[in-house]
Amino acid sequence: MSLIALLFVAQAATAFMPSTPAATSPVTAEVPARITRLLQRYPVIDGHNDLAWEIRDRHDGKVEQVDLMRDTSALPYPLQTDIPRLRRGGVGGQFWSVWIPATTTGPRAVEMTLEQIDIVRRVAAANPDAFALVTTAAEARAAQKAGRIASMIGIEGGHQIDGRLSVLRQMKELGVGYMTLTHGKSLSWADSSTDAPRANGLTDFGRSVVAEMNRIGMIVDVSHVSDATMAAVLDIAKAPVIASHSGARAVADVPRNIPDNLLARIGQAGGVVMVNVYPAFVSEEWRAWDRKRSDFGKAQGLATDVYGPKAPAPLVAWDAANPMPHVTAANVADHVEHIARVAGKGAVGIGGDYDGIGGTAPADMTGVDGYPRLFAELARRGWTDAELGALAQGNVLRVMERVEAVAASQKAMKPVDATATD
């Protein structure tokens, strides 16, 4: 599954990881030298990666069983992330998602989130030459300067704080940099884009969550939330928001993607939409194909979240008779460019969602080493080095700095003692 660039490794490894052996791939070997140099100077800070859950789900949380110094695409259950591919992909910063299922609620949700944070910390500790845990923009820059991948943490769903601002504050103390307000299910205080509304935007407690996140310097993430909730957040947030892994609804009409009016508001408020590579969010054609595939699989009583040769045999046969639509970096670039047109080039970033998308990905971006293909496509479309550098990391670093500044300005304010009521 991996995409490996001989030219990119030969040059980018000098800046990131000199001991990484070179390898070849006919796909990414075409990456221009300009992009190699660009990503050396402005390595990607990616907004979302679900490796921690894959380690938990496939390896029972045993970090020592997953050697990230090796190509993990060859594992019995392949991963999309490892250190050599992060290096080849020009990744210099990563928000690691500590996702848990939206169906897990109450105290167990808090406990499981702590377990996920522990996995991220153990991964970093097991690979100290590659990863540096950081919580600020300045620390991220320092880690990159030292040749390490700045590692940050994001909670992917407000259910993970169990309706308690005290838990939110303690998550911040543990190094959590952002929280996605909802995941796939609506909460009593905020609505999901893929569930029936319960809050009709934000309740009083939901507004308290946003205010407290601004006060303590935690980034508000509006991926997954409903349009009404996103608008309500933008009405009250004192600091810029991010959408850590989203796309443009005008390009692919998917509830999880963001409509133009809200894209414009995010840009006007200084926020950043970090573009996702999941084909179901990138391409309407792929999403329609996947819906048919899922309908077939469910009718047979099969799990449909595995793709390729490891899928159940009837699905493998169905896939052969119904070829998967071709999605590439060019399709991802369409989302980047649309967001840039609507919200401004200062309002777009990268949030791939690798290892959270069932092993699917654009054909030329199958793992975290695929980002040079996206930057090469945008360069072909006329993006300047300065614009590409902002896309890679400058825009999200600016948001981080602004969130830190807003928190500093509220340092004298006392914590709010509030809990949600169902």
Set 54, 82, 159, 245: catalytic member: 245
Set 50, 212, 221, 290: catalytic member: 50
Q: 353 an active-site residue? A: yes
* Amino acid in the structure at residue 99: W
Q: 50 an active-site residue? A: yes
CA dist., res. 171 & res. 177, Å (int): 9
Set 353, 355, 364, 377: catalytic member: 353
Q: 159 an active-site residue? A: no
Set 46, 71, 156, 221: catalytic member: 156
Set 54, 71, 159, 183: catalytic member: 183
DSSP tag of 225 = B
Return phi, psi of residue 228, to 5°. Answer: -65, -40
* Amino acid in the structure at residue 154: G
Count of other CB atoms within 10 angstroms of residue 313: 9
* Amino acid in the structure at residue 198: R
Set 46, 48, 338, 369: catalytic member: 48
CA distances from 68 to 23, 65, 80 (A): 17, 9, 11
Q: What is the sign, positive or negative, of the torsion defined by CA atoms of 88, 89, 95, 99?
A: negative
CA distances from 363 to 3, 36, 72, 135, 324 (A): 9, 20, 18, 33, 10
Q: 338 an active-site residue? A: no
Q: Locate tokens 């979302």: which residue?
A: 48
CA dist., res. 270 & res. 248, Å (int): 17
What element of type H or E holds 220?
strand 219-221
CA dist., res. 396 & res. 381, Å (int): 22
Set 46, 82, 224, 355: catalytic member: 224
Q: Locate tokens 């047979």: which residue?
A: 300
Q: Which residues contact 184 (CB under 8 A, 6 or more apart)?
A: 102, 192, 194, 195, 224
| DSSP 3-state of 373 | helix
Per-position b or e across 351-384, b if 16+ CB within 10 A of its CB: bbbbbbbbbbbbbbbbbbbbbbbbbbbbbeeebe
Q: Which residues are part of the catalytic machinery?
A: 48, 50, 156, 183, 224, 245, 353
